[in-house]
Amino acid sequence: MGKTGDLLDQGLLEQLDREKLPDHVAIIMDGNGRWAQSRSLPRIAGHRAGADAVDGVVTAGRELGIKALTLYSFSVENWRRPKTEIDMLMVVLEEYIHKELERMKQEDIRFNVIGRISDLPLPVREAIRLAREETRHNEAMVLTLALSYSARMEILSAAQRIAQELQEGSLSLEEIDESLFEQHLYTADLPELDLLIRTSGEMRVSNFLLWQMAYAELYFTKTLWPDFRADDLLRALLEFQRRERRFGIISQQLSDQRQSIGSLRED
């Protein structure tokens, strides 16, 4: 894989403030099927092209300093697709994990998966187990694939586990707050989500990270996922940096906070 300087437009790169990068970026990788259809190719060709597109985005994200990158790879709803397509998707997924394992080890990337892993075929589960084990100590970035994932099911599962702990007496009602709830989500060990990107022009979030995106910035692009490159990620990051994140307060309060922090630094 190339380095950031090889992948990214230098003019765009010079605009980027490395001190204001999002810690956690998630991407809904949409458009593989339409990409293939527009080229009169079978849908699986689009999925393979989509897997190739992941490479450049992961490399760019890691070298720019993104701490966590989460990719919506296969939803619970995707099990409704034709069996032949699902079977081929699972083959592509297994191939991708095995192919990228050495690069993840070399580039200090920790591999992670969220979702109902037990739904996946045994060869895919084994590839996941191996990649997790061999990258567990890596620290430069966490690459998370959402597989057989549903945000509603994630939230429901967290509520069920909390209810079970209440029933067992290991948890009291007074202890339940947002922080505790988040500890029961799949993403408990990931930074707070800052930026959600969706490709292909669709303007919806498709049951993805519904709790986590409460204050995330949303970025939609018409680019189909197989055509999404490192420069497209950079444009999304630049747009993120242009936005004012207020978290429920007004602009004046945000300005006052910045001035206060600046005064403390000067002292």
Pairing of strands 195-198, 109-114: unpaired
Number of other CB atoms surrounding residue 65 within 10 Å:
15
Which one is catalytic: 6, 9, 17, 30?
Answer: 30
Rg (CA), the chain: 20
Q: How far is the C-alpha of 250 from the C-alpha of 167, rounded, in Å?
A: 42
State the maximum Cα–Cα separation within the chain, in Å, rounded to a whole number. Answer: 65
For residue 78, indicate whether it is catalytic: yes
Q: How far is residue 4's CA from residue 7's CA, in Å, rounded to a whole number?
A: 5
Mind giving me the DSSP string for 156-202?
HHHHHHHHHHHHHTSS-GGG-SHHHHHHTSTTTTSPPP-EEEE-TT-
Instruction: Check 55, 78, 119, 227 and give the catalytic one.
Output: 78
At CA 75, angle to CA 7 and CA 106, rounded to 5?
35
**Any residues with CB less than 8 A from the CB of 137 and at least 6 apart, and which?**
110
Q: What are phi and psi of 216, to 5 degrees?
A: -75, 150
Is residue 17 part of the annotated active site? The answer reads: no
Give the list of residues 6+ apart from residue 187 with CB closer than 8 angstroms, or none: 70, 114, 144, 193, 209, 212
The residues assigned a catalytic role are 30, 78
